[in-house]
Amino acid sequence: MTRPRAAIVVTGSELVRGERSDLNGPFYAREALALGLQPARLIIVGDDAMELEDALREGMGADVCLVSGGLGPTHDDRTVELVARVAGRPLVVDEALEERIEHVSRTVAERLGRPYADFAAGVRKQATIPEGALVIGLAGTAPGLVVDTGSCVTVVLPGPPGELQRLWPGAVASAPLQRVLSSTERPGRRVLRFYGTSESAVARALAEAGGDGGGVEATICARDFEIHVDLIVEPGAETRADVLADAIAAPIASYLFARDERTVEEIVLERCRARGLTLAVAESCTGGLVAARLTSVPGSSDVFRGGIVAYGDDVKARQLGVAEDVLRACGAVSAEVAAAMAHGARERLHADLAVAVTGIAGPGGGSDEKPVGLVHFHAAGPGGDEALRFELPGDRAWIRARSAVAALHLVRRLLERG
């Protein structure tokens, strides 16, 4: 079937200068696809008026145009006026909207001890919108808008990702976007997530399974040091998708860890919770990244006891009980010290399981015997231990991030073992 096309326009000079990564474009694309739209293009553009107008003109040639950024009160926040120009709509002051923004601004002015006059011009600017635009809510003082030209439904939301995502449901529920969505069906989806195998091995498994087609579109993506396979399924192709997913997984089943979008930290916490186990971490080179991933999951406190970042050898000895003769004989980056850190974390933090990481993240500190990128991992639990040694190429940030993922997958494997 032919799906309505969605174009995405993300604005912000800080994005095109590389000062900040775009999170809104990928969010919009995922949401558009899930709603049955066909993401056609993603345009990232700066705040220059001519560049932004060109991008909006291109984007508003689609059935749906999803826009983020440029809704603030300052002179370089031009998105609304340029959307109006491309749509051929005059700008008008929405008095009800102005009252709402004024109320927020007066509260801010009072809290900051500044006169409201400092905010008045910005309030009027943000309340000036394309004639006929639908206001779907406020994020601070920035309004979310839906502009329907008949040929294109344009959704305009603020740039901060949290604000955009909060207003997004209102855009989806709006009558103009619902009209477009009524002409399409939401596709199904199958997800396979692998760890420890290569992207080429997964691609080979897909090819040997018959490849996509027949109402199933397959994409393979290396993401977060894992390999993710997404199967987008047209109505009526569900059986073909299930057969294809099973055929892809069969030759590399030992690397398959999920058939859904749960992160490894979510899986680890769920499996611990199901077995009534608690978890702790001991980290050196990762500096708390493993604990950060675990505590990013809401409700993790019923499983996760805590962590010890033992960067110095004296901290490893004092806080985790690593024997000083082991540190002297083997060095801080060794299988022996990783094991001692894990068992020390279990004991000191009164946890059922613990995982430890110690390594050389670089750029200095390596040697011929222990090069930069050498990392030792150890997971210990009531059912036994699992150890792992990696030599990881890459820069410091890459080594640390990949080590955090590896530590979580080591715990997952220990839990799978029983």
- pLDDT value at residue 267: 98
Q: How many CB atoms lie within 10 A of CB 183?
A: 12
What are the pLDDT digits (tens) for 84-124? 999 999 999 999 999 999 999 999 888 899 998 888 889 99
CA–CA dist 157, 71 (Å, integer): 8
Q: Which superfamily does 5-181 belong to?
A: MoaB/Mog-like domain (3.40.980.10)
Q: What is the DSSP letter of 350?
A: T
pLDDT at position 290: 98
For 196, 361, 362, 393, 403, the CA distances from 397, given in Å and listed in that order, are 20, 8, 9, 11, 10
- Other Cβ atoms closer than 10 A to 117: 8
Place of tokens 């569900």: 238
- Determine the 3-state secondary structure of 34 from DSSP: helix
| Block residue for tokens 């927020």 | 104
Residue 339 token pair: 């094991």
**pTM of structure:** 0.85
Strand order from edge to edge, sheet including 374-381: 304-309, 279-283, 353-359, 374-381, 384-391
Report the pLDDT value the prediction gives residue 120, as an integer from 0 to 100.
87
> What CA–CA distance (Å, rounded) separates 277 from 303?
7
Amino acid at 331: G
367 has a pLDDT exceeding 70: yes
The percentage of residues in the chain with a pLDDT greater than 70, rounded to a whole number, is 100
Average pLDDT value for the chain: 95
Contact 164, 24 (CB under 8 A): yes
What CATH code would you report for 188-258? 3.30.70.2860
* Residue 117: per-residue pLDDT: 85
Place of tokens 């080591």: 410
Whole-angstrom Cα distance, residue 205 to residue 218?
Answer: 12
pLDDT over 90, % of the chain? 91
Q: What confidence score (pLDDT) does residue 74 get?
A: 84
Closest CA to 378 of 257, 283, 304: 283
Q: Does residue 346 have a pLDDT over 80?
A: yes
Average pLDDT of 252-274? 97
Torsion sign (Cα): 347, 351, 353, 359: negative
At 1, is the pLDDT very low, low, confident or very high (cuts 50, 70, 90)?
low
Each domain of the chain, given as residue ranges in start order, spans 5-181, 188-258, 264-417
Residue 135: pLDDT over 70? yes
**Mean pLDDT calculated for residue range 343-359:** 98
In this structure, are residues 265 and 272 in contact, taking their beta carbons and an 8 Å threshold? Answer: no
* Mean pLDDT of all residues in 241-254: 97
pLDDT at 191 over 90: yes
Model pLDDT, residue 273: 98
Which amino acid type is present at position 360? I
Hey, what's the torsion of the CAs at 6, 10, 16, 19, to 10 degrees? -130
Mean pLDDT of 43-60: 96
Distance CA 367, CA 372 (A): 7
Domain 264-417 has CATH 3.40.30.10: no
67-76, 175-184, 247-256, 261-270: lowest mean pLDDT where?
A: 67-76
CA dist., res. 289 & res. 50, Å (int):
42
What pLDDT score was predicted for residue 321? 97
